[in-house]
Amino acid sequence: MKLKTLFESLNLLIAFLLEIGLIFIASFWAYAQAKAPWSRILFPLIMAALVIGIWGYFLAPRSIHRLDNPLRATLKITLFMCASLTAYLVGWHRSAFGFGIVAVLNLLAAFAFGQDY
């Protein structure tokens, strides 16, 4: 396997993990904001559905409403930076910084490799 192919595959794996992290952070934030026991179940589910819906509608590769670049890249970095800020506000300071750095590096690598995910 070529080294470039290995890095491209690794970058796609990191992109997928960032998307999962985005859903997790948004859901955890919703859980932390909820006060009533029922809302600690409902709010994270709604937040996860909202994030998945936005990603699926505007950013998914097979979506008929997929945005074109540079708007798609702008929305991706906005969602990732909102997740990073949210993680910081929840108290995960180092994780928030790491998440933001990895997200930016992942998008730069995707641009460098010509990946259109």
* 32 located within any domain: yes
Structural domains in the chain (count)? 1
* 109 located within any domain: yes
Extract long-range pairs of 61-66: CB within 8 Å, 24+ residues apart: 61/116, 61/117
> What would the pLDDT profile of 30-83 be if each residue is shown by its tens digit?
999 999 999 999 999 999 999 999 999 999 999 999 999 899 999 999 999 999
* 39 located within any domain: yes
> What would the pLDDT profile of 86-114 be if each residue is shown by its tens digit?
999 999 999 999 999 999 999 999 999 88
| pTM higher than the cut 0.75 | yes
* 104 located within any domain: yes
* Segments forming the whole domain that contains residue 73: 9-113
* 3 located within any domain: no
* 1 located within any domain: no
Contact criterion met (CB below 8 Å) for 64 and 86? no
* 49 located within any domain: yes
pLDDT confidence tier of residue 25, bands split at 50, 70 and 90: very high
How large is the angle between the packed helices 93-113 and 71-90, nearest 10 degrees?
160
